[in-house]
Every structure is written in structure tokens, then in C-alpha cells.
Amino acid sequence: MNATSIPMTTPSLRLRASGLLLAIGIALAAWFLGRAVPVIGGPVFGILLGIVVRNLLSPSESFTPGIQFASKQVLQWSIIALGFGLSLTQVAKTGMESLSVTLVTMTTAFVTALLLGRLMKVHNKLQILIGVGTAICGGSAIAAVTPIIKPDDHDTAFAISTIFLFNVVAVLLFPLLGHLLHLSDLGFGMWAGTAINDTSSVVAAGYSYSKAAGDFATIVKLTRATLIIPICLILAVAVAVREKRAAKQAGTTSDFSLGRIFPWFILWFLVASAARTAGFVPVAIQPLLHLAAEFMIIVALTAIGLSANLRKMASAGARPILLGLGVWAAVSISSLLVQLAIGQL
């Protein structure tokens, strides 16, 4: 079921109310904590608080429908709302300038996640989540592909926690390394925009280096974020092909269709972005739409945390974290090497 066709009958609302209110309440706390400690951010606090509540208080099964609703449908709505803050014309020029670096770092992220993940025996869905989160835009990218590949909730929580761990490290480490390497403002902005995962962390690192670096890094990051659309479409096609092949080998008939799993929320994201670009979205309400999108992401990630089982996460061991470290390091180094090769440093 897509984000635009959700039955909201009174019984379903009543069934979901307790879990949804729990996620919203925790997300409010995470929101304020994120404002107080922006280096970490609300999404990180949301998923961490969700995990703590899930594993210390163990909410009853009556909360499950609302938690699942928040982790899936609210998540999709948040991505659509983000489209209202992304002007396609605003990022066109800088996007073209950064495209070569972005494509190399994305390819590096996916190839490293695949090869290193196989070497470390990390299963495929967690490889994809960590690869996509590192390659594109951290938790938002993981949130976007989750409805398509349908990983276990604890895998999603583990991937997001891993990605944000390196976001925090990047905010603290990148400006120092940038000065040691004597990077120009544009060089550092390109590096931060292509190698740091989450938008808030890109902004924090960029503006701590200089205003020019922060401006450039932010636009590069927004351009990079739009690439989640073709990635989602590629994954949707891959899921369709795999399920049809599995049904054929089993001698059964698959009722799977690409239309059923097509990420329609991405299409609505494009519509929202086009409306923003065409000037149909009043400037006065754009900050409110951004705040709404940000809060819905925190609600969704809080719900994912509320679904996470620490015992299952612990059983995965240190390998996913080492995978995240390896992919992040590969992306960071490849960004610098490409810039050096094309003379942008």
C-alpha cells in the first residue's frame, strides 16, 4: 500500500493510536534534544530513545500497529514533505559541477559495501542499507529504500545507528583534516557535501570551516540527495525480477508486480519538488513544511527504534560497524582523489 491510499477509518485510528502517540511523544523529546545538541541531531536521539524504551520498558503488543504505521507510512510522508524544500533549479549548476565526484563516491560506496560486506559475511539487506546510507543521505536514504527492500526493523535501526555514528565523527574530524590538508573553501565544501552522510552533519561541518564552504557543501548535499530517486527505482526493479525468478524456480505463479511495489512516494516527492521550483509553494510556509518533514522523520525513526530488538542487533556483532567504517573511509578518500584528479582542490 502506498503513502497516498491509506484507509484511516475510526477503528484503524483507534488501533494505531497508542503506538502512534508513544512514537510522537518520544519524538518530541528527541526533537528538543536534537536542538540542544545539533551535532547529534533529532533523528539520532529519536532512534536511540526508541531503542531504550523498547528494550527497557517492552511496550505491549497493543502498541505495535501504531508503531508499524509510524515506521512505514509516516516515514513515506516525511520524504514527500522534504520535496517542498528542494528547488530543482537552485541545485542545477552546482549539481552539474559536483556530479562527477558524486557519481564516483556513490559507486565507491556501493562496490565497497558489496565486496566488504561479503568478506565480512554481512547479509545483503544490511549491505544495501549501509551502502545507500553512506552513498546518498544517511538516515533519509535508508528510510527511502526501507519500504522497497523490506528489511527487518532491527537491521534498519542498526544501519541508521551505524551511519549516524560516523556522521558525528565526521563533524568533529572533517574541519580539522580540511585545515591540515589546506583545502580551499570550495574544495572542503565538495568533500563535506559528497562524503558526509546526513544533511545536518554536512551543514555543521561545512559552516564550521567557513561560510563559503558551508553554502557550497549544502547545495552539493541537496543535489546528492536527489539521486535517491534513481536508486529507489533500480532497487524496485531488482526486487521485481528476483521475486519473479524465485516463483518460476519454485514452479509457482508469482502475483508480484512492479506497480505494487513501485515507490510512489518518490513520485510524489518529485511533484512536491516541482511545485516548489515552479513557485506554487508560498515562501511563507516553506519553513513550516521543512519543520514538519524533519519532525515526521524523527517520528518514523523513533518508531523504528521502538521496533528494534537489541538481542538481535547484538547477534550481528561488530561486523556491520566495521562495514560502515570501511565504506565511509572509502567514500571520503575517493572524494578527495577525484577532486585532485580533476583539479578542483
- Give per-residue pLDDT as tens, 155-202: 777 787 777 678 778 877 898 899 999 999 989 999 998 888 877 678
In sequence order, the 6+-apart residues with CB closer than 8 A to the CB of 115 are none
Tell me 198's DSSP state.
S
Q: How far apart (Å, rounded) are the C-alpha atoms in residues 278 and 296? A: 25
pTM of the model as a whole: 0.62
Name the grid cell of 36: 540542544
- Give per-residue pLDDT as tens, 310-331: 676 666 667 888 888 899 899 9
Determine contact, residues 209/185, Cβ cutoff 8 Å. Answer: yes
Q: What is the DSSP string of 213-229?
A: HHHHHHHHHHHHHHTHH
Determine contact, residues 146/81, Cβ cutoff 8 Å. Answer: no
Q: Is 312 helix (H, G, I), strand (E, B) or coil?
A: helix
Residue 111: count of CB within 10 angstroms of its CB: 13
pLDDT at 216: 82
Residue ranges per structural domain of the chain: 10-342
Q: How far apart (Å, rounded) are the C-alpha atoms in residues 238 and 125? A: 13
Q: Radius of gyration (Cα) for the chain, nearest Å?
A: 20
Tell me 270's DSSP state.
H
Q: What is the DSSP string of 279-333?
A: T-S-GGGHHHHHHHHHHHHHHHHHHHHHT--HHHHHHTTTHHHHHHHHHHHHHHH
pLDDT at 207: 80
Determine contact, residues 193/218, Cβ cutoff 8 Å. Answer: yes
Determine contact, residues 287/271, Cβ cutoff 8 Å. Answer: no
pLDDT in tens, the chain (345 residues): 344 444 455 557 778 899 999 999 999 999 999 888 876 677 778 878 988 898 888 888 889 899 988 877 887 788 788 778 767 665 566 667 777 888 888 899 889 998 998 898 888 888 888 888 888 877 777 877 877 787 877 777 778 777 767 877 887 789 889 999 999 998 999 999 888 887 767 877 888 788 788 878 877 887 787 777 788 778 877 777 777 777 677 666 655 555 555 557 767 877 888 888 888 888 888 888 888 888 888 898 788 788 876 676 666 667 888 888 899 899 999 999 988 887 766
Q: How far apart (Å, rounded) are the C-alpha atoms in residues 50 and 27? A: 8
